[in-house]
């Protein structure tokens, strides 16, 4: 073999092996649920948010800090006996005093004498990629996309506990044409 053909073979081999050497990077998406809510006080909002996370079966514990206005729960496990089917989730809820535009509700719902806050809730999710997924000592947790449905449910629970939100539902077309 001559030198150029060896060089071409080496470059081809390197091109085939290079993606495996660099590793894979999984890109996951965050799906926060944002709403502007009204509350009598920040303390009432905090208590309702903490209770919503607790009622969602997320362990609150020491991850709740009213000073930073954030709750980062512990992990809630949902194990399964198959690789990649078991997962764990945790709630991340935060709020800040509202500065203007209202998210998720109409401007007519702003109540007199109430404080407005922008609340954000995310449900972080990781899947267990271990070959023995029921053994937590050998768990191999891999980041997955956020659980948007669980975040919406937690936000709805929060609204119910707070008791000050009004919603305007879209009027859907009747699929059968009957009024």
Query: Could you read off the pLDDT of 156-165 as tens digits, one per residue?
Result: 999 899 886 5
Element housing 38 (H / E):
strand 33-39
Q: What is the spatial distance between Cα 126 and Cα 75, in angstroms, rounded to a whole number?
A: 10
Range of the domain at 69: 28-162
Structure confidence at residue 115 (pLDDT): 86
Query: Could you read off the pLDDT of 63-85 as tens digits, one per residue?
Result: 899 999 999 999 999 988 988 89
Query: Could you read off the pLDDT of 42-59 as tens digits, one per residue?
Result: 999 999 999 999 999 999
The answer to whether residue 177 is domain-embedded is: no
> What average pLDDT does the chain have?
81
Q: Residue 69, SS3? A: coil
The answer to whether residue 48 is domain-embedded is: yes
Structure confidence at residue 113 (pLDDT): 66
The answer to whether residue 13 is domain-embedded is: no
Q: Which residue do the tokens 């998210």 mark?
A: 103
The answer to whether residue 6 is domain-embedded is: no
The answer to whether residue 123 is domain-embedded is: yes
The answer to whether residue 79 is domain-embedded is: yes
The answer to whether residue 102 is domain-embedded is: yes
Number of domains in the chain: 1
Query: Could you read off the pLDDT of 97-150 as tens digits, one per residue?
Result: 988 766 655 545 455 667 889 999 999 999 999 988 888 889 999 999 999 999
Residue 149 burial class via C-beta count within 10 angstroms: exposed 0-12, middle 13-18, buried 19 and up: exposed
Q: For the domain that residue 146 is a member of, what is the CATH number?
A: 3.30.530
């Amino acid at each position: 073999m001559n030198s150029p053909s060896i060089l071409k073979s080496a470059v081809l081999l390197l091109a085939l092996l290079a993606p495996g050497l660099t590793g894979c990077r999984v890109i996951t998406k965050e799906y926060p649920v944002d709403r502007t809510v009204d509350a009598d006080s920040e303390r009432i909002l905090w208590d309702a948010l903490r209770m919503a996370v607790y009622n969602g079966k997320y362990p609150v514990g020491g991850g709740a800090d009213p000073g930073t206005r954030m709750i980062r729960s512990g992990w809630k496990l949902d194990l399964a006996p198959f690789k990649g089917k078991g997962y764990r989730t945790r709630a991340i809820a935060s709020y800040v005093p509202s500065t203007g535009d209202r998210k998720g509700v109409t401007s007519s719902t702003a109540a007199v004498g109430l404080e407005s806050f922008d609340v954000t809730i995310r449900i972080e999710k990781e899947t267990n990629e271990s070959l023995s997924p029921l053994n937590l000592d050998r768990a191999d947790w891999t980041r997955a996309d956020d659980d948007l449905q669980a975040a919406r449910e937690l936000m709805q629970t929060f609204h119910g506990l707070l008791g000050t939100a009004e919603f305007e539902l879209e009027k859907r077309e009747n699929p059968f044409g009957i009024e």
